[in-house]
Amino acid sequence: MNKELLTGNQAIVKGALASGAQMMTGYPITPTTEILENWAEEAAKNSNLNFLQTEDEMSAGFSMIGGVLAGLKTFSATAGPGNVLMQDALVMAESMRLPTVVFINQRGGPSTGTVIYSQQELNLTCFGGNGEGLRIVYSVGNPQEMYDYAIKAFNTAWRYRFPAFVLGDGYSAKTLTEVETYSLEERKIERVSSAPYLLGEDNSSGSVNLRNTYNLETELNTLLMKHKMAFDGFTSEIVEFDDYQTLGAEIVIVAHGNIAISAKCAIDILKSEDEKVGLFRPITLNPFPSETLRSVVQKKKLIVVIESSLGQFERMVKENLYGENIPMVAIKKPALGINPDEIVERVKDFLKEMNG
Amino acid sequence: MPAKIIIAGEGGQGVQTIAKILTKAAKKSGKNVSYLPSFGVEQRGGVSLAYIQVSSRPIPYPRFSKADFVVTLSSRSCETIKNFISDNSLVIYDSAEIYEKDINELKAEIKRFVAVPAKNIASEKLSTKVANIIILGVLSAQLKDISFQDFQDTVLMELAAKIKIKPELKELNNSALQMGAEFAQNYESSDHLTGKSPDETVRSFENDKVKWTRFPEYCKGCSLCILSCPVKAITFAKDLNFLGTPMPIVDMEKCIGCGKCMQICPDGAINVEKK
Amino acid sequence: MAENNNFPKSWKKSSKPHKFCPGCGQSLALKNLGFVIDELQIADKTVYACDIGCSLLTWDMFEIDTIQTHHGRVVPTMVGFKLAKPSAITIAFMGDGGGYAIGAQHLINAAMRDDPITAILINNANYAMTGGQMAPTTLVGQKATTAPNGRDWQKVGKPIHGPEMLAEIAQEGSYIARTISTDIADCKTKIRKALQNQIDGRGFSFIEIISMCPVNWHTDALQSLDFSEKEMTKVYPLGEFKCPQKLA
């Protein structure tokens, strides 16, 4: 165990290395470029690591898939418009059940937006492409989590063979702070192995011909139902959340990523003033911890959804609470950070209104 | 009476052509009609499907599960149409194109059927290319809501561009439609699902220097072999390849065994071996 | 049953007859490719990747490990594979849409980076799978469904010359050539060189293969041969545009 001063982007590279990543492909885009640069530096020092700077994010996505097919734990990183382009490759991975890991550090959108911060790539990351969103998305909120979930994402992707994402943001990516780094061995975390999909050791059953094109609707339907069943089958094994001080709370804040961290600080302030406020934070946005959220909000007086986007997260929360009859309000600030004191103030307003 | 019709065959057999004619004829007869083509990625080959509905009431949804008329033109599409057959379905199939063993796979499902040797009627009396129109003729006899005149007119209208280039197509197609309709009128139902017997195509031809072999299971009848032969030893034969188009045959008195036909064949359907 | 020596060992038996139209030049090119793979005895270490367009019909063409990718993305997929497993022989097979339009940037950058893959591109002067639309390779005046009066070069430019362009970009040690599927000897020789260059670990290899498309050209076999062998080669001269000395 070791405490180092790292940015989120640096922590991602360290985490990827710790979890056994072997190859990265990518195209520079703020605020993820340092991941590419840091990996390039690592690869320059270690000939066992592969690195390719591609001509665009489509190429980054597909050359990543090439690396995966050859049996290497390959990953990429992108943001904003780059995330849009990379979906081309990511739906192929989803369709063919290929493990991939992509780090998304959200920037302001739509379009070029800002290079700074937002939570606006939630829809795109969870459901992007012309598919059903059979992918695993971890929403992280600070450099430490970027390290922890980098490790986790590789294991999850290669164990369950669906694309995995670590959804961060520009603030977390750029923040320089103390991060506890560790090896998988010292934490007794298993390292899921990878094997080639093509030119593997075992060719006893003839050649492997992989495709994502189908002739008839029924063929594709059968395949998708099989994928969905597999996905639902392991959902309970991977779904993650943070339930903070909701026991006895009247108000439950629901937030994810960086905003959930801010909300946690706000709750500590509110608690010290004896306000009954808790936080439910989904860590996996996909699959979503719907059952837990549903049980947490039972008999609460108010749900407060907080997000740095204009309802993308609120829609997700509503969908997962369908049928519950609990008042819900939302604080929505697209492309903007939301500080703890602001949350404290807004929640106090809600409490005042609620308690007359 | 509303009718749900499914037509299935190989791409290139003319499934979509007769579906389109049927659709336009129904419209001409004042019916509501809906036609949904469905096929895979190939331009030629692969199973081609057409969902058609004819009704005096509006037709809001183009697909259906069971069909009143199930038409199949090829052995490979028998598997596809299986799910569309109900106890009330009338199955119309080309008994000169579909192998007896393949149609008998559906024995349990098929209650009523018309076995029409369209391919034979076409090749003996007209041209192999109009087998689909003969099938359309059979179908026209079942669809009383659409006048035969409308079928006739639509066939000529749909093929107008081709007829302009080859005027003889007019008579060929007209006759094919009539023959199909007459066949249906005179058809005596039977219990036995007849079909094509296994092929007994001659595969190899020899002279003292060369053995020339053709593979009907691969040949697509493109005629590149015929064009590439420097001594004009290859022509089209009467017998057919798996697509139902004519296959090449070699005159071994002329063949010099140069192998040009073999090299140019994109399908690996000709083998030339020097002795 | 008689033996068929006209059937490459590297072709997958169970997927034949293949899915190409009668008289298709692309399938002839693929037969030539199959025979070269047989000759070089590389089937067990080759990865074959196909694009979208008619090339996707080859996802189960070969008894060779295969990946069917997205439109234009066959080159990066194989670049990634080769980087991860340098001992593999990687073939990126695409059409003129995949290589010269939707994925042109990948081809250009792979040539510039000297990625040691073998890219094979079929030029049939149209988009065939979608039914004969104009391609970057459509000849001036040639009709296409999206150029009903023929390609008007003043509006949409003149046909692209891929090998010539790539030869300008590519590094020494690249092999870049154009051939035609119906000239069996030339086609096989150039495919062999494009693969040998990769086997030797020299660099980027690319061949464009001129090919017939009778269905979308609305031509019979003779007209198809004429158009590809006479009209197309006039615009697209056959030859080697870059050839390492050791391959010459």
Quick one: which of C75, C84, C69 has its CA closest to C105? C75
Residues of A in contact with B40 (CB under 8 A): 214-216
The reported pLDDT for the residue numbered B43 is 62
Mean pLDDT of C139-149: 97
Residue A197: name the closest of A233, A223, A161, A224 by CA.
Answer: A161
pLDDT of residue C83: 98
DSSP E strand stretches across chain C? 46-50, 65-68, 89-95, 118-123, 175-180, 205-210, 239-242
Q: Is B43 on the interface with A (CB under 8 A)?
A: no
Residue C177 has pLDDT above 60, yes or no: yes
Alpha carbon of residue B82 to chain centroid: 18
Report the neighbours of C using a cutoff of 3 or more CB pairs below 8 angstroms: A, B
* Mean predicted lDDT score pLDDT of chain A: 96
Distances (CA, A) of B51 to B2, B6, B16, B66, B160: 14, 5, 10, 11, 24
pLDDT in tens, A71-106: 999 999 999 999 999 999 999 999 999 999 999 999
Min Cα distance C31 → chain B (Å) is 7
Residue numbers of the domain that contains C229: 18-247
The answer, yes or no, to whether residue C1 has pLDDT greater than 60, is no
Read off the pLDDT of residues A181-231 as tens digits, 9 standing for 90 and up. Answer: 999 999 999 999 999 999 998 767 789 999 999 988 889 999 999 999 999
Contacts of B47 in chain C (CB under 8 A): none
In a domain, B192, yes or no: no
Find, in chain B, the residue whose alpha carbon is nearest to that of C17: B218
| Residue B225, token pair as written in the block | 């072999």
Domain end (from B158, B185, B212): B185
Q: Do B266 and C20 touch (CB under 8 A)?
A: yes
Among chain C residues, the shortest Cα distance to B43 is held by C129
pLDDT average, residue stretch A36-63: 98
Query: Please, what is the average pLDDT of chain C?
Result: 97
Region A110-135: what's the mean pLDDT? 96
ipTM of the complex: 0.97
**Domain presence at residue B191:** no
Average confidence (pLDDT) over C195-216: 97
Same domain for B162 and B55: yes
Given an 8 Å threshold on Cβ–Cβ distance, is B227 in contact with C221? yes
Residue B159 lies in a domain: yes
Does residue B29 register a pLDDT over 80? yes
Structural domain count, chain B: 2
Is residue B216 situated within a structural domain? yes
- The verdict on residue C194 lying in a domain is yes
Which tens digits make up the pLDDT trace of B166-184? 999 999 999 999 999 999 9
Asked if B203's CB is within 8 angstroms of C2's CB, the reply is: yes
Q: Name residue A142's amino acid.
A: N
Residue C126 lies in a domain: yes
Instruction: Confirm or reject contact between C9 and chain A (CB < 8 A).
Output: no
| Domain of B114, in residue numbers | 3-185
pLDDT at B40: 75
The HSE-up count of residue B38 (CA atoms within 13 Å, CB side) is 20
**C-contacting residues in B 193-232 (Cβ below 8 Å):** 203-204, 211, 213, 215, 217-218, 220-224, 226-227
Give yes or no: residues B120 and B172 share one domain. Answer: yes
Whether residue B21 is found in the same domain as residue B107: yes
Q: C152 in contact with B at a CB cutoff of 8 Å?
A: no
Q: Into how many domains does chain C fold?
A: 1
CATH of the domain at C81: 3.40.50.970
Q: Which position has the token pair 């405490």?
A: A3
Cα–Cα distance for residue pair A231/A17, rounded to 1 Å = 27
Tokens 């995949």, located at residue: C98
Q: Which of C70, C80, C106 sits opposite A52 (nearest CB)?
A: C80
Which pLDDT does position A202 carry in this prediction? 75
pLDDT tens track for B35-87:
999 887 766 667 889 999 999 999 989 999 999 999 999 998 998 899 999 99
Question: Do B85 and B157 reside in the same domain of the chain?
Answer: yes
**Chains sharing 3 or more CB pairs under 8 A with chain B:** A, C
The pLDDT value recorded for residue C79 is 98
Angle between helices A290-297 and A312-320 (to 10 degrees): 80
To the nearest whole Å, the CA of A178 is away from the closest chain C CA by 34
Torsion region of A74: left, alpha or beta (phi above 0 gives left; psi -120 to 50 gives alpha): beta
- Find the residue in B nearest to C216 (Cα): B43
At residue B28 the predicted structure's pLDDT band, cuts being 50, 70 and 90, is: very high
The structural domains of chain A, ordered by start, are: 2-181 (3.40.50.970), 243-354 (3.40.50.920)
Asked if residue B263 and residue B162 are part of one domain, the reply reads no
Containing H/E element for A332? strand A328-332
pLDDT given at position C2: 61
> Both B123 and B230 in a single domain?
no
Q: Would residue C9 count as lying in a domain?
A: no
Q: Assess B133–C contact: CB distance below 8 Å, yes or no.
A: no
Answer yes or no: is C118 within a domain.
yes
Return the residue of B nearest to A219 by Cα: B40
Residue of C nearest to B263 (CA): C184
| Residue B12 confidence class, pLDDT cut points 50, 70, 90 | confident
Question: B-C interface: how many C-beta pairs under 8 angstroms?
Answer: 95
- For A241-260, the pLDDT digits (tens) are 999 999 999 999 999 999 99
Residue in chain A nearest B41 by alpha carbon: A215
Cβ distance B227 to C225 less than 8 Å, yes or no, reads yes
Do the chains contact at C82 and A66, CB–CB below 8 Å?
Answer: yes
Give all strands of the β-sheet with A302-307 in edge-to-edge order.
A241-244, A277-282, A251-254, A302-307, A328-332
pLDDT at position A331 over 80: yes
| Predicted pLDDT at B252 | 96
**What pLDDT shows up at residue C136?**
98
* pLDDT (tens digit per residue) in B182-204: 999 999 988 899 998 887 788 99
Candidates B203, B227, B268; nearest CB to C31: B268
pLDDT tens sequence across C103-123: 999 999 999 999 999 999 999
Q: At B163, phi and psi to the nearest 5?
A: -65, -35
Same domain flag for B66 and B104:
yes
Note whether residue C7 is domain-resident: no
Nearest to C5 by CA among B209, A276, B265, A336: B265
- C79 CB neighbours in chain A (<8 A) are 52, 59, 63, 66
Please count the residues of chain A. Answer: 356
